[in-house]
């Protein structure tokens, strides 16, 4: 038996009364503190660290993590729906929270009890904001080809190289960073928890992107950066396993953000189509428009159902990686299509900055690229199908 949460745009079945209360809190915070400033801050390129700090104090930066470290210990099914609501109000915030979870994951899942006791509560509580560093200028989709080198020197690693496209680059307090400790391909990669203020770490100027200007993205240049050896997450040489496990969960976060963005675009289109009149009628009375809205709503609901199902597999302790890739693929493609069609529904008005749909369209594009492009998601799904065929 589920509990109904009736949000601004959708009714959902939630697993507990506590999760209904959490969704109401998130919706209220998003409506009061995020939505009103999103357009202006995006236009000005403001990074909303203050809002993220407030969200940390509300417990929103630790939703899926252990209560022992100050987390809310929410199932992923609930965590992701809260993330969707944040992204519906402001995608950059949704992405920030999703990336923060991604950055906390290596310590939470692979750190020792001693390491977790030292650092996790501050990360989960949001006083420390995280970044996740896998990509490099010459290794994107082929992430295992990374060349940033870490060499052991006494009680520290000395790191040299460049990390690319880092969300919160130069603004994060810590980074979960994949580095190369041997030439043994994917087995030569190691995960380090790096202090954002480390000597030898410099951030380049933020990338000049087509959207999500409030989510800073920058290269990190590592020049003889010393990282204490006790910052090793998991085993030396086990970093690629850590990175991929983090991405399985991270892709679900991006799927939820994409659904939030698509829902915002749908809401804007539905509202406009009910107001705008042509030929003496509201345009939502024309089948050409009504069918477009119907297809948009169906795409959003389908993508939401897919990520919730993947999250339920994860919550049940079952394999969920293939389903997470499907959810990321379907949700981000849906966000691109729905935001494109939202512009069409608004006609000329949709092409102006007077309405938010042109921003949603620009923001949706990033989601088809980050945390594995949608071609990479298809590779992941295709390989799983081939494995299933050969083992049957």
Ligand X SMILES: Cc1cc2nc3c(=O)[nH]c(=O)nc-3n(C[C@H](O)[C@H](O)[C@H](O)COP(=O)(O)OP(=O)(O)OC[C@H]3O[C@@H](n4cnc5c(N)ncnc54)[C@H](O)[C@@H]3O)c2cc1C
CA distances for 144 relative to 15, 220, 325, angstroms = 38, 18, 18
Whether 320 and 310 have beta carbons less than 8 Å apart is answered as yes
Please tell me which residue in 27, 33, 84, 371 is annotated as part of the active site.
371
| Contact call for residue 386 and ligand X (CB under 6 A) | no
Cβ proximity to ligand X: between 167 and 322 the closer is 167
Partners of residue 162 on adjacent β-strands: 221
Which tokens hold the place of 386?
């081939």
Instruction: Give the nearest distance from C-beta 124 to ligand X in angstroms.
Output: 19
| Contact call for residue 167 and ligand X (CB under 6 A) | yes
Instruction: Give the nearest distance from C-beta 350 to ligand X in angstroms.
Output: 23
| Contact call for residue 246 and ligand X (CB under 6 A) | no
Kindly give, in sequence order, each residue whose CB lies less than 8 Å from that of residue 231, ignoring residues fewer than 6 positions away.
Answer: 157, 192, 193, 194, 195
Instruction: Give the nearest distance from C-beta 91 to ligand X in angstroms.
Output: 11
| Contact call for residue 147 and ligand X (CB under 6 A) | no
Residue nearest to ligand X (CB): 140
| Contact call for residue 243 and ligand X (CB under 6 A) | no
| Contact call for residue 10 and ligand X (CB under 6 A) | no
Ranges within 36-75 binding ligand X (CB under 6 A): none
Given 99, 108, 194, 364, the residue binding ligand X (CB under 6 A): 99
Kindly give, in sequence order, each residue whose CB lies less than 8 Å from that of residue 177, ignoring residues fewer than 6 positions away.
Answer: 133, 148, 159, 163, 191, 192, 193, 194
Cβ proximity to ligand X: between 189 and 366 the closer is 366
| Contact call for residue 254 and ligand X (CB under 6 A) | no
| Contact call for residue 158 and ligand X (CB under 6 A) | no
| Contact call for residue 213 and ligand X (CB under 6 A) | no
| Contact call for residue 96 and ligand X (CB under 6 A) | no
Segment contacting ligand X by CB under 6 A, of 130-138, 184-192, 244-252, 298-306 = 130-138
Instruction: Give the nearest distance from C-beta 54 to ligand X in angstroms.
Output: 22
Cβ proximity to ligand X: between 47 and 165 the closer is 165
CA gap 132, 243 in Å, rounded: 9
- Of 325, 316, 304, 314, whose CA–CA distance to 372 is shortest? 325
| Contact call for residue 182 and ligand X (CB under 6 A) | no
Count the site residues for ligand X by CB under 6 A: 20
| Contact call for residue 375 and ligand X (CB under 6 A) | yes
Given 51, 63, 134, 308, the residue binding ligand X (CB under 6 A): 134
Given 132, 157, 240, 361, the residue binding ligand X (CB under 6 A): 132
Cβ proximity to ligand X: between 187 and 209 the closer is 209
| Contact call for residue 329 and ligand X (CB under 6 A) | no
CA gap 289, 269 in Å, rounded: 10
Given 92, 98, 135, 377, the residue binding ligand X (CB under 6 A): 135
| Contact call for residue 373 and ligand X (CB under 6 A) | yes
Q: Is 285 a catalytic residue?
A: no
Cβ proximity to ligand X: between 134 and 289 the closer is 134
Catalytically active residues, by annotation:
371
Query: Where on the chain is the footprint of ligand X (CB under 6 A)?
Result: 99, 132-135, 140-141, 165-167, 209, 217, 366, 369-373, 375-376
């Amino acid at each position: 038996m589920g509990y109904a949460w009736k949000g601004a745009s959708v009714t959902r079945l939630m697993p507990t009364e506590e999760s209904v209360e959490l969704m109401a809190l998130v919706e209220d915070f998003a409506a009061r503190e995020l939505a009103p400033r999103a357009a202006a801050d995006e236009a000005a390129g403001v990074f909303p660290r203050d809002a993220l700090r407030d969200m940390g104090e509300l417990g929103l930066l630790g939703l899926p993590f252990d209560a022992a470290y100050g987390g809310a210990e929410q199932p992923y099914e609930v965590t992701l729906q809260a993330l969707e609501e944040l992204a519906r109000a402001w995608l950059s915030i949704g992405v920030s929270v999703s990336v923060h979870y991604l950055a906390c994951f290596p310590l939470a899942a692979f750190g020792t009890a001693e390491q977790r006791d030292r650092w996790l509560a501050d990360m989960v509580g949001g006083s420390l904001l995280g970044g996740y560093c896998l990509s490099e200028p010459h290794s994107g989709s082929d992430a295992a080809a990374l060349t940033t080198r870490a060499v052991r020197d006494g009680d520290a690693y000395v790191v040299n190289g460049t990390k690319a496209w880092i969300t919160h680059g130069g603004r994060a307090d810590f980074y979960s960073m994949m580095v190369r400790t041997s030439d043994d391909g994917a087995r030569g990669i190691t995960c380090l928890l790096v202090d954002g203020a480390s000597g030898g770490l410099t951030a380049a100027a933020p990338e000049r992107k087509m959207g999500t200007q409030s989510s800073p993205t920058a290269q990190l240049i590592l020049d003889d950066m010393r990282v204490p050896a006790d910052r090793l997450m998991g085993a030396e040489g086990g970093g690629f396993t850590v990175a991929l496990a983090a991405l399985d969960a991270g892709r679900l976060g991006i799927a939820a953000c994409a659904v939030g963005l698509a829902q915002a675009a749908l809401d804007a289109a539905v509202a406009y189509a009910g107001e705008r009149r042509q030929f003496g009628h509201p345009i939502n009375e024309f089948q050409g428009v009504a069918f477009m809205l119907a297809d948009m709503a169906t795409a959003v609901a389908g993508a939401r159902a897919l990520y919730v199902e993947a999250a339920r597999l994860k919550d049940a302790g079952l394999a969920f990686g293939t389903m997470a890739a499907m959810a990321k693929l379907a949700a981000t493609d849906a966000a691109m299509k729905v935001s494109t069609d939202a512009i069409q529904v608004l006609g000329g008005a949709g092409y102006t900055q007077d309405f938010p749909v042109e921003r949603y369209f620009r923001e949706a594009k990033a989601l088809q690229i980050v945390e594995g492009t949608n071609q990479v998601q298809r590779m992941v799904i295709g390989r799983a199908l081939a494995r299933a065929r050969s083992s049957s």
